[in-house]
Structure 1
Amino acid sequence: MYHFILRRKLQNVFSRLNAGDYRFVTSQFHTDAEHWFAGSHAMSGRRITSGRREEWYRRLAAVFPGLKFDVRKLIVSGPPWHSLAAVEWVDELHDKKGNPLPNEGVFFITIRWGKVTEFHVYCDTAKIEKNLSILAAQGVVEAAASPIIG
C-alpha cells in the first residue's frame, strides 16, 4: 500500500512540474537534500541548499519554458525511511522557433518520510548541451550560464 501511495504522490509532483509549479516541486525536498544533474552545462552541477535548488528551478523555467515530461516508467521500492524511485521519462520541449528539442533520461530519487533527500538527473548530455547551445544562440542568456552549485 505504501508504494502505491508514494507512486501517486510522485505522479502528482510530475503533474505539478509539467504545470510549471516549481514552488510546489521545491517544497517536496528535505532542507539539506542533494539535487544533482549530470554533465557540464548550465543545468548541471550539485546543489545542497534550498536557495540553490530554488535558483535552479527558476533557471529551468527561464531556459525551458513549457517543458513537459512524459513519464514512461515509475518504479518505487523500500520502506518509508529509505524509499527509492526510478523515473524513466521523455520530455517535450521547443526552441524559440517552435522546433522540437527532445531529450530522455532517468531520475533517481531517494525519499525519507515523504521528503526527497536525493534527486539525480541522468539524460543524454550531448542532446542537452546541443539544446542549450541552440537556445543560447536564440538569445536565452541563462542557457549559456555557469552551473548553479552549492
Structure 2
Amino acid sequence: MYHAIVRALVRRTWRRVGAGDFDAAVAMTAPDVRFRFLGDTPLGADVRGRQAFREWFDRFERELPGVRLELVDVVANGWPWRTTVAAQLRVSATLADGTPYGNTAIQWLTLRWGRLTDDLVLEDTLALDAALRRQQAVSRAL
C-alpha cells in the first residue's frame, strides 16, 4: 500500500511539473536536497538545497523554453524512512529553429518520510548537447 501511495505522489507531481509547474517538485524537497543532472552541458548540475534546485529549473526553462516532460513509468521500493523511486521520463520540445527535440531521461530519487532528499537525473547527453547547441546558434543569429 505504501509504495502505491508513493507512486501516486510521484505521478501527481510529474503531471504538474510536466505542465510547467516546477515549484511542485521543489515543494516536495527536504531543505538539504541534493540534485544532480549528469553530463557536461549547460544543464549539468550537482547542487544542494531548495533554492539551488529551483534555480536549476529556471535555467532549464531558459535553455529549453516550452519543453514538455512526461512520466512514462515509476517504481518505488523501501520504507518511509528511505524510499527509492525510479522514474522514466519522456522529454520533448520544439527548438527555436523549428527542429523537434526528443529524449528519454531516467530519474533515481531517494525520499525520507515523503521528502525528496536526493535526485539523480540521467539523460542522453549527446542528444541534449546537440539540442542546446542549436538553441545557442539561433540565439547568436538574432
Give the structure-2-normalised TM-score.
0.93
Counterpart amino acid of residue 78 in structure 1: G
Please, what TM-score do these two structures have when normalized by structure 1?
A: 0.88
Shift of 1:35: 0.4
Cα distance in 2, alignment partners of residues 27 and 70 from structure 1: 19
Looking at secondary structure, tell me which structure has more strand per residue. Answer: 2
1:5 matched to which residue of 2? Answer: 5
CA RMSD of aligned residues (A): 1.3
Q: Give me the identity figure in percent.
A: 24
Cα distance in 2 between the residues matched to 1:71 and 1:49: 24
Q: Across the two proteins, how many residue pairs are aligned to each other?
A: 140
Q: CA deviation at 1:65?
A: 2.1
Q: What are the superposed Cα offsets for residues 20-64 of structure 1, whole Å, 9 maximum, x if unpaired?
A: 111222111110010001111111020102221111111112222
Partner residue, 2:121: 121
Rounded Cα–Cα distance in structure 1 between residues aligned with 2:18 and 2:66: 8
> Aligned residue for 2:40?
40
**Unpaired segments of 5 or more residues in structure 2?**
none
Counterpart for residue 66 of structure 1: 66
**Partner amino acid for 1:122?**
L
1:50 match: 50
Find the counterpart in structure 2 of residue 147 from structure 1: none
Tell me which amino acid in the other structure corresponds to 2:44: S
Higher relative contact order (CA 8 A, sep 6+): 1
Instruction: For residue 31 of structure 1, give the secondary structure of its aligned residue in structure 2.
Output: strand
Q: Which runs of 4+ in 1 moved over 3 A?
A: none
Q: Which residues of structure 1 form unaligned runs of 5+?
A: 141-150
Match of 2:136 in 1: 136
